[in-house]
């Protein structure tokens, strides 16, 4: 198998055997295996059909399309050992433990996901004030620094900073350990502020009741189309910095339409954590979920 694009032809990209992967093109970072412009003899449509990474207008590279990297299983020669286990089964089991613990105490856990700089922490600081007297606790995920946890504590809520080092996402084990360090009150709201990243956190269940995606109007209307996995996984999208929309020519209706293209059931709330616009709807949404969590607890 080709070790770079994962397609099923083991001869791809090898010296002399690379009939499909052309000689290295002058494209940065992709040298050596020749994943560049379509090779002679293959049309663009054929590249699509074969699922090969290829260029549009000679510029863009598309991985992850078609059956790229997905081979037809070959003839089995050795002994086959059945496994049938989800790769993230351990994470999922730990997430289930977190979820059961939180549900047992009527705590609403919200996993906030976004790109860096969308305003998650500012939104939280304002939310803590507006939710009072409902108790709030926060788990802050970042690669480094405890700046965010300090901002949350200054706003009056207990916070645990989880630094992932080089890690690009929080996982259920990290959250489980952080939960042990937080004095959680029954019937409270726990915000888990994930590492600013629109890709990796989509795959990791932390035990939350809902993922909430925060995106700001300054990020471009097509953000949901560029990073669909995270918006598909989210129950609610909060469009932040709505006060800036007229100043940066952003169209919030188009952002909302793109969100619904990715996830037709996603709920959308427009806010400005700076001016307070829309905060009532956001805080109302949280209170509604908190009541639902309490009712679910009472029903068990």
Partner 1 sequence: MHELSLCEELRRIVEEAARAHGVARVTRVRVEVGRFAAVEPAALELAFGAVMRGSVAEGAELVLVELPGRALCLDCGREVALDDRFDPCPECGGGRLLATGGDEMRIRDMEAA
* Interface with partner 1 (CB under 8 A), residue from 93, 100, 132, 199: 199
Nearest approach, Cβ of residue 72 and partner 1 (Å): 8
CB nearer to partner 1: give 228 or 252. Answer: 228
Q: Is 263 among the residues that bind partner 1 (CB under 8 A)?
A: yes
DSSP state of 73: P
Q: How far is the CB of 48 from partner 1 (least distance, A)?
A: 11
Confirm if 55 and 36 have CB atoms less than 8 A apart.
yes
**Contact residues for 125 (Cβ-Cβ < 8 A; gap 6+):** 151, 152, 154, 155, 273
Residue closer to partner 1 (CB basis): 231 or 282:
231
Q: What is the 3-state secondary structure (H, E, C) of 192-227?
A: EECCCCCCHHHHCCCCCCEEEEEEEHHHCCCHHHHC
Question: What is the closest distance, in whole angstroms, from the C-beta atom of residue 291 to partner 1 in the complex?
Answer: 25
Q: Is 173 in the site for partner 1 (CB under 8 A)?
A: no
Binding string to partner 1 for residues 221 to 240, with x set by CB under 8 A, is what?
----x--xxx-x--------
Q: How far is CA 97 from CA 100, 142, 220, 291, in A?
A: 5, 23, 37, 21
| Cβ neighbours around 267 below 10 Å, total | 15
Dist. CA 183–CA 105, nearest whole Å: 12
Question: Per CB under 8 A, does 254 bind partner 1?
Answer: no
Backbone phi, psi, residue 287, to 5°: -65, -40
Tokens for 261?
């293209």
Helix (H) / strand (E) element for 125: namely helix 120-131
Question: Residue 264, interface with partner 1 (CB under 8 A)?
Answer: yes
Choose between 4 and 184: whose C-beta lies nearer to partner 1: 4
Q: Which is nearer to partner 1, 79 or 249 (CB)?
A: 79
Peptide bond into 133 cis (omega under 30): yes
Of 30 and 153, CB closest to partner 1: 30
Residue number, 66 or 129, with CB nearest to partner 1: 66
Of 40-79, binders to partner 1 (CB under 8 A) are 53, 63-71, 73-74, 76-79
CA–CA dist 92, 88 (Å, integer): 6
Closest separation between CB of residue 117 and partner 1, Å? 20
145 binds partner 1 (CB under 8 A): no
- The span from the CA of 143 to the CA of 188, in Å, is 27
Q: Would you say 15 or 84 has its CB closer to partner 1?
A: 84
Applying CB under 8 A, which residues contact partner 1?
1, 3-6, 53, 63-71, 73-74, 76-91, 167-169, 171, 199-200, 202-204, 225, 228-230, 232, 260-265
């Amino acid at each position: 198998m080709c070790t770079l694009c994962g397609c099923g032809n083991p001869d791809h990209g090898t010296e002399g055997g690379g009939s499909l992967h052309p000689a290295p093109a002058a494209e940065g970072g992709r040298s050596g295996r020749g994943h560049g412009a379509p090779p002679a003899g293959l049309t663009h449509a054929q590249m699509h059909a074969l699922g090969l990474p290829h260029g549009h207008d000679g510029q863009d590279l598309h991985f992850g399309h078609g059956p790229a990297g997905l081979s037809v299983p070959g003839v089995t020669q050795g002994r086959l050992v059945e496994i049938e286990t989800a790769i993230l089964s351990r994470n999922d089991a730990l997430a289930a433990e977190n979820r059961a613990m939180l549900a047992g105490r009527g705590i609403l856990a919200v996993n906030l996901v976004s790109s860096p700089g969308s305003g998650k922490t500012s939104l939280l600081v304002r939310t803590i004030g507006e939710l009072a007297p409902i108790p709030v606790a926060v788990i802050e995920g970042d690669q480094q620094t405890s700046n965010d946890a300090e901002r949350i504590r200054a706003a009056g809520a207990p916070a645990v900073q989880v630094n992932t080092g080089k890690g690009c996402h929080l996982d259920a084990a990290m959250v489980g350990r952080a939960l042990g360090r937080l004095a959680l009150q029954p019937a409270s709201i726990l915000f888990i502020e994930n590492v600013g990243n629109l890709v990796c956190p989509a795959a990791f269940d932390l035990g939350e009741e809902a993922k909430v995606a925060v995106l700001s109007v300054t990020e471009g209307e097509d953000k949901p189309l560029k990073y669909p996995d995270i918006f598909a996984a989210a129950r609610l999208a909060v469009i932040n910095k709505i006060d800036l929309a007229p100043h940066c020519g952003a169209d919030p209706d188009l952002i909302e339409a793109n969100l619904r293209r990715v996830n037709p059931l996603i709920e959308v709330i427009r806010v400005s954590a700076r001016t307070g616009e829309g905060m009532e709807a956001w805080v109302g949404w949280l209170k509604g979920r908190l009541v639902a969590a309490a009712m679910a607890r009472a029903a068990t």
